[in-house]
Structure 1
Amino acid sequence: MSMAPSVEKIGGTSIAATDAVVGNVLIAGRAGRDLYRRIFVVSAYGGITDLLLEPKKKTDAAKPPGLYASFAADGEKGDWRDALDAVAAAMRARNEEVFGTSPERAVADDFVAARIGETRACLDDLDRLRGHGHFRLDEPLATLRELLAGLGEAHSAHNTALLLRARGVNAAFVDLTGWQDGRNLDLDERIRTGLDGIDSATTLPIVTGYVKCSDGMVRKYDRGYTEMTFARLAVLTGAREAIIHKEFHLSSADPKVVGVGKARKIGRTNYDVADQLANLGVEVIHPGAARGLRQAGIPLRVRNTFDRHDEGTLICADYVSAAPRIEIVTGIRELRALQFFEQDMVGKKGYDAAILDTLTKHRARIVSKSSNANAITHYLAAGGPTVRRVIADLEARFPNAEVSAPRLAMVALIGSDLSAEGCVGRALDALGAAGIGVKAMQHQMRNVDIQFILDTDRFDDAIRALHAALVECRATQDGKGGTLRTAA
């Protein structure tokens, strides 16, 4: 058996389910030396980072604006002191859920009080500074965002280590947030320094998902920083396996759309498939984190926190399914199809580069692209204001062009090998039988994804139709019709 540790990440929803994560992941029936040779990276408890920064999803308009958003807006989104009080209250409430009336509760509350108190002092200083007209807070605000992000992970990691020690596990709280540490270390240096002197054979390290480093984790990776910490930690320790614990299985489609009894767990796949999912916004692993694991030859396993005995999905670099098959049916419910038509484009160069420059300028994320002699279409995961700015710039630069951006949906078939003859035909037949019109279609030569563009109001119908025809039907024919187990 390899002496290298596994490196495991616990997501925010999972770490908030205390009994399940202890019973199914952290301890899970282990005792003695079997508890060790594992390193855990933990996210902030679900909802805490939203309170510290801002709601992650733009659709969460009803949620509080968040501490960072309130402070940066300087009163326009509510008083930052109220937002900080809301963070403190939420952290204390989580402490109560985790520890109840045990003695560890007071230790956890003291930890929160100290961090919140020092954060309040920092914000007071910044608030006074910006009261003077000579100071700009651009750089301090970026640093503040980093500091606030780390608070959530420090809270959950400290609680987790405290909880495990109370249960007889030699757990160590590894705080990589650089709290009150003025050293300017890079990511690798900070991780190595944090783990220095810890023997994973006899100690269970509980590591913060946020790392204070010279590049700035939030600045560089936004909300994907926890997975970057996890992946880099796996590479630096030569992990035998990297494991992500989520609140769901990686399955053939969203069970909420196709039905729990119809969705199939994906047992094995490869990093190419994981990249396609990330491109569509499906949260498996950040593509930067996947890249590091793939290059280091470390397999990734995705497990369901609530299904202790299931081994989950194994993702490797070299896996290809034994026979061509559709593994996952998913997509984007709403995107913008930026259509650029210029009759005189044929035979001329420069249009494509100009469009890409404009999209880069406005930070519009490109999901996919197609072109012909005189038209270029970019499928964008971008909001209305961004798209309108892009169109205005392109129309100003190319006054003879026709530019539009209708709202559409994309449904994709994804798998490690989609080379089976007739696959596209069967998909189109399934969509046609359901009365779903296809606006456009793309099938790349690498045979890992097939994309269908259609009206947004037919998104769920298309997922169900394609899944029934290409996944459920196949599972029935080959006798591999096992369904997902639901969370306890």
Structure 2
Amino acid sequence: MERIVVKFGGSSVADAEQIRKVKAIVEADHRRRIVVVSAPGKRHAGESKLTDLLYLCHEMVAMDTDPTEPFQLIRNRFTEISRELGIENGVLTELEEFQEDLLRGCSRDYTVSRGEYFSARLIADYLGAEFVDPANAIIVRANTTIARESYRLLGERLNDQEQIYVIPGFYGRDRDGEVKTFSRGGSDITGAIAARAAGAVLYENWTDTSGILMADPRIIDNPQPITEITFREIREMAYMGASVFHDEAILPVREAGIPIRIRNTNRPEDPGTMIVPKLSESELKSTEVAGIAGKKGFSMICLEKSLMNRETGFVYRLLGILNEHGVSFEQFPASIDSVSVIVEEQQLRGLDDVLLEQIHRQLEPDSLYIEKNLALVAVVGEGMVRTVGIAGKVFSALGSAGINIRVINQGASEMNIIIGVAESEYEATVTTLYDAFVGNRAR
């Protein structure tokens, strides 16, 4: 039987009413056999995240202070959900045991993983499903990557095609058997691992938004949703600052060719966004770009030197200086007698004068300066390479809007065009490009 893995984020399991929606979604498609859940999220703006409360409990114990107050908030939350769902299980007893473990000094990773653990225990009981602890199957290496044997181990655990399984997200174990958490938002990773381990035909990621938007809704009023986007496109948009999908969660399903659909728990009738290995022909023909993304906070180290191109190792030595000071770069636009290195401003850490002095001394440029307060904006799309006039459209639109372009760069894949502008013109740049490529048209 074909199976679908469904992952529900914190907002989707925030309270009993949301968990009832989860049950309705699972029951609406018999293929939804594997359910991955986050810890309960915020119910309102003033509430603390349950995971943050767990971090606080661990810190208080480490400082030899009493964690009773934040722990009581955690206990109350799970007690309320249990009562409103009308289920009685061993979670409340386990919470008491966990509190004793906490006071004895259990690890930080184990402590914060309990939000997902207890959430999954409750939801498994509510769905009449089998609980699967990822600490018994998902192995996390020292560098936080997932050991490939995890797919086999978890796949063996999920072998009953008819059984519904519930898995807590966000954690696995290390080689020593100790609980190891992923980065924040890591339940997406667990869902992707489960999809690959089970050989799922689809990985559905249920959140509080109806898919991925073509631009930042904080800048564009009601931007168009993306119907279909490739793994490569979404990686580009995520890299350029778009809040789209946990980038580490893409690799397991991308390697296996399993599509992802982003859907809205509160609006299950909405189609959401499909993330696929390759765009359909209809999508390629109907769209010029996938989306527009960007971020602020960049500086650009600018060098000019006559006959630079004849100096063997010039760029190598420049990058060696940055490497010596632990500075990584984002973009590297160059011409025959000039080169610029774009870095995040936080990478410089007050090293401006040190870097300039060392570059002057070792490379003897004719001109050298750092330009600050830059923003980068990317126009992303698989179809750009096949579409005549995309670059012209970008430059014409920005020119008509009076926006001064400081940097132009295009990736080797020809899947994006990156524009550098002053931070003060960032929002205007995003708006102008969105209007040029989308306007009021639906994607």
Q: How does 1:455-474 map to 2 (within 5 A)?
A: 455-472=422-439
Q: How does 1:111-150 map to 2 (within 5 A)?
A: 111-122=94-105, 144-150=107-113
Aligned residue in 2 for 1:48: 50
Aligned residue in 2 for 1:314: 274
1:29-67 Cα shifts (integer Å, max 9, x gaps) = 837xx55642122223333334445xxxxxxxxxxxx45
8 Å CA contact 1:441–1:453 kept in 2: the answer is yes
Match for residue 110 of structure 1 among 93, 98, 118: 93
1:67-113 Cα shifts (integer Å, max 9, x gaps) = 56677xx7xxxx4645x446524422432552345664784433333
8 Å CA contact 1:41–1:206 kept in 2: the answer is yes
1:215-263 Cα shifts (integer Å, max 9, x gaps) = 9999896335433322222222111111212222211122332112xx1
1:411 aligns with 2:377: yes
8 Å CA contact 2:171–2:182 kept in 1: the answer is no
Provide the C-alpha distance between the structure 1 equivalents of 2:353 and 2:2, rounded to a whole number of angstroms.
Answer: 53
Aligned residue in 2 for 1:56: none
What value does the CA root-mean-square deviation take over the aligned residues? 3.7
Aligned residue in 2 for 1:137: none
Q: Which amino acid aligns with 2:208?
A: E
Provide the C-alpha distance between the structure 2 equivalents of 1:437 and 1:218, rounded to a whole number of angstroms.
Answer: 51
Match for residue 166 of structure 2 among 205, 222, 226: 205
8 Å CA contact 2:241–2:293 kept in 1: the answer is no
Aligned residue in 1 for 2:24: 27
CA separation of 1:87 and 1:177: change in aligned 2, threshold 3 A: farther
CA separation of 1:362 and 1:28: change in aligned 2, threshold 3 A: farther
8 Å CA contact 1:38–1:204 kept in 2: the answer is yes
Q: Which amino acid aligns with 1:27?
A: A
1:284 aligns with 2:267: no
Aligned residue in 2 for 1:222: 183
Provide the C-alpha distance between the structure 1 equivalents of 2:176 and 2:416, rounded to a whole number of angstroms.
Answer: 34
8 Å CA contact 1:330–1:411 kept in 2: the answer is yes
8 Å CA contact 2:298–2:345 kept in 1: the answer is yes
Give the CA deviation at 1:350.
3.8
1:250 aligns with 2:212: yes
Provide the C-alpha distance between the structure 1 equivalents of 2:322 and 2:422, rounded to a whole number of angstroms.
Answer: 23
CA separation of 1:255 and 1:340: change in aligned 2, threshold 3 A: closer
CA separation of 1:318 and 1:197: change in aligned 2, threshold 3 A: closer
Partner SS, residue 379 of structure 2: strand
Q: How does 1:143-222 map to 2 (within 5 A)?
A: 144-162=107-125, 164=126, 169-177=127-135, 187=147, 189=149, 193=153, 196=156, 198=158, 199-214=160-175, 222=183
1:330 aligns with 2:328: no
- Once the two structures are overlaid, the 10-residue window that deviates more, 444-453 or 362-371, is 362-371
Partner SS, residue 9 of structure 1: strand
Aligned residue in 2 for 1:264: 224
Aligned residue in 2 for 1:297: 257
8 Å CA contact 2:7–2:36 kept in 1: the answer is yes
Aligned residue in 2 for 1:454: 421
CA separation of 1:340 and 1:441: change in aligned 2, threshold 3 A: closer
Provide the C-alpha distance between the structure 1 equivalents of 2:179 and 2:330, rounded to a whole number of angstroms.
Answer: 22
CA separation of 1:245 and 1:432: change in aligned 2, threshold 3 A: same
Unaligned runs of at least 5 residues, structure 2: 42-48
1:430 aligns with 2:397: yes
Q: Tell me the number of residue pairs that the alignment of Structure 1 and Structure 2 aligns.
A: 420
8 Å CA contact 2:204–2:262 kept in 1: the answer is yes
8 Å CA contact 2:213–2:226 kept in 1: the answer is yes
Provide the C-alpha distance between the structure 2 equivalents of 1:159 and 1:360, rounded to a whole number of angstroms.
Answer: 49
TM normalised by structure 1 equals 0.73
8 Å CA contact 1:36–1:202 kept in 2: the answer is no
Q: Which amino acid aligns with 1:406?
A: K
CA separation of 1:203 and 1:467: change in aligned 2, threshold 3 A: same
1:280-315 Cα shifts (integer Å, max 9, x gaps) = 232333444323322211111111222201221111
Provide the C-alpha distance between the structure 2 equivalents of 1:118 and 1:380, rounded to a whole number of angstroms.
Answer: 44
Match for residue 343 of structure 2 among 349, 373, 380: 380
Q: Which amino acid aligns with 2:96?
A: A
Partner SS, residue 27 of structure 1: helix
Give the CA deviation at 1:434.
3.4
Give the CA deviation at 1:271.
0.9
Match for residue 82 of structure 2 among 99, 106, 117: 99
Provide the C-alpha distance between the structure 2 equivalents of 1:296 and 1:95, rounded to a whole number of angstroms.
Answer: 36
8 Å CA contact 2:233–2:290 kept in 1: the answer is no
Provide the C-alpha distance between the structure 1 equivalents of 2:335 and 2:178, rounded to a whole number of angstroms.
Answer: 40
Partner SS, residue 369 of structure 1: coil
Give the CA deviation at 1:328.
1.0
Match for residue 7 of structure 1 among 5, 8, 11: 5
Q: Which amino acid aligns with 1:427?
A: V
Aligned residue in 1 for 2:44: none
Provide the C-alpha distance between the structure 2 equivalents of 1:286 and 1:391, rounded to a whole number of angstroms.
Answer: 36
8 Å CA contact 1:412–1:450 kept in 2: the answer is yes
CA separation of 1:379 and 1:147: change in aligned 2, threshold 3 A: farther
